[in-house]
A = this chain, B = another copy of it.
């Protein structure tokens, strides 16, 4: 921090914010969201803000497609193929060519689907692989589900930090489940490096992209990821509980042996055959009838990505989170918070501050119109959704946090 910043911090920061917002190539994208209520919303890493296109689209789906066409909409309105079609719209955001992503079910269900599938792929590759390694820092559901996947595939479950994988991987490893960004600290793990390590050990990797997709480049195809899952209600703004997606690399699709082979994954669903024959292509990863209203809300929400390059999103994200840390450093009473989020390229798109009494502090922030969230045990979590967060928002949040901590 410069001396000038120390002496006139608010003014200098306000100037920086104004200049950064003026120069922001994504500034126009904010208008695609309904943020008209003046709230400083820094919880888009938990539930993305409402894209303006969603209400009318869902109203049309309900009143016309369901209300008028009714059952005919499964074909005439494209409901039946929506899981694959919407999956292909997510593709560019996570670096996947068409035909490898399908949307449906919750992230928990897709973690189960992907992890069991990964174990079976590894066991198809060769004998002796009977261990699932799960990221010890992971969002809890991934660990719980990994436990069930291990139990049901006859594997051992082993927990390890992504930092320690080198000492854990070996000829017994079947599959490794890693979160791309740690939900608590915002730490970004090195996807190319870890994917390479898992492959070098002859195992399969499953990435959980819930806290990275839509905030930074993932490069699934480029880095040879085997399988991935992610939620769509955070940086993809699909709405509360919007359906999850699963990615299966193209060359693995014909070998995919997934544990939830519902009728939508059948080669000919409407033949109603009593014997199961898996579909070719990514439809093979489907299960039951998709929840169309939630799925088509997501479809409409993805319109905000028109013309947006994920590299620009990452640039803005790093600038925003870096600026917020600068504001916090300059404005907050000394010693009241410590930053739990790594710097620069090892950071996702959030800033987590450890703070005594964090739960109460967050309540007071929310009362003053600055919405982040609290995570056990002492974390103030601020998400910076690059499509709609301004540098001025980052400054304002730090200012209000400083007031709350000073009061």
Residues of A within 8 A of B (CB): 34, 37, 39, 41, 43, 46-47, 49-50, 54-55, 58-59, 62-63, 65-68, 70-74, 79, 104-109, 112, 116, 136, 139-141, 143-145, 147-148, 152-153, 159, 184, 231, 233, 239-244, 259-264, 266, 270-274, 276, 287-295, 297, 366, 371, 373, 375-376
Contact B376 A241 (CB under 8 A): no
Task: Tell me which residues across on chain B come within 8 A of A290, comparing CB atoms.
Answer: 106, 241
Q: Other CB < 8 Å A-B pairs besides A46-B71, A62-B239, 17 of them?
A: A72-B366, A105-B106, A105-B288, A108-B260, A109-B109, A140-B266, A141-B263, A141-B288, A144-B262, A144-B263, A144-B266, A145-B261, A152-B153, A240-B292, A241-B289, A242-B293, A292-B294
The smallest C-beta distance from A107 to any residue of chain B, in angstroms, reads 5
Q: Please state if A274 and B148 are interface contacts (CB–CB under 8 Å).
A: no
Cβ-defined contact, B70 with A261, below 8 A: no
> Contact at A148–B105, with CB atoms within 8 Å?
no
With contacts A105-B109, A241-B291, A376-B271 taken as known, whether A63 is within 8 angstroms of B70 at the C-beta atoms is no
Interface centre among A43, A65, A241, A274 (most CB of B within 10 A): A241
Closest residue on chain B to residue A278 by CB atoms: B144
CA distance A244 to B109 in the complex (A): 14
The interface residues of chain B lying within 8 Å CB-to-CB of A62 are 50, 54-55, 58, 239, 297
- Contact between B291 and A243 (Cβ–Cβ < 8 Å)? yes
Chain B nearest CB: distance from A170 CB in Å? 23
User: Closest CB-CB distance, A373 to chain B, in whole Å?
Assistant: 7
Contacts of A63 in B (CB 8 A): 34, 50, 55
B-side contacts of A104, CB under 8 Å: 106
**Most chain B CB neighbours (cut-off 10 Å) among A63, A106, A292:** A106
Point out the residues of chain B lying under 8 angstroms from A231, CB to CB: 289
Do B288 and A107 touch (CB < 8 A)? Answer: yes
Q: Is A108's CB under 8 angstroms from B288's CB?
A: yes
* Number of copies of this protein chain within its complex: 2
Provide the bound-state CA to CA distance between A159 and B263, in Å: 18
> How far, in angstroms, from A39 to B68 measured CA to CA in the complex?
9
A58–B293 touching, CB < 8 Å: yes
Given contact pairs A55-B63, A288-B108, A272 touches B376 in the complex (Cβ within 8 A): yes
Chain B residue nearest to A154 in the complex (CB):
B154
- Cross-chain contact A262 with B108 (CB below 8 angstroms): yes
- Residues A145 and B47 in contact in the complex (CB < 8 Å), given A62-B54, A106-B289, A289-B107: no
Taking a contact as CB atoms closer than 8 A, the residue among B47, B66, B242, B295 that contacts A71 in the complex is B47
Q: Which of A37, A47, A293, A371 has the most CB of B within 10 A?
A: A293
Report whether B371 and A276 are in contact in the complex, using a CB–CB cutoff of 8 Å.
no
Q: A58-B293, A292-B239, A376-B270 are in contact. Are A287 and B109 (CB under 8 A)?
A: yes
- Residue from the list B106, B243, B294, B371 in contact with A287, Cβ < 8 A: B106
Q: What is the CA–CA distance of A233 and B152 in the complex, to the nearest angstrom?
A: 31
Pull 14 A–B residue pairs with CB atoms less than 8 Å apart, ordered by A. A50-B62, A50-B66, A54-B62, A55-B67, A71-B373, A106-B291, A107-B289, A148-B260, A152-B152, A239-B293, A241-B289, A270-B376, A291-B291, A291-B294
Partner of A274, one of B46, B140, B260: B140
Please state if B67 and A34 are interface contacts (CB–CB under 8 Å).
Answer: yes
Q: Which residues of chain B have C-beta atoms less than 8 A from A239's C-beta?
A: 62, 66, 292-293
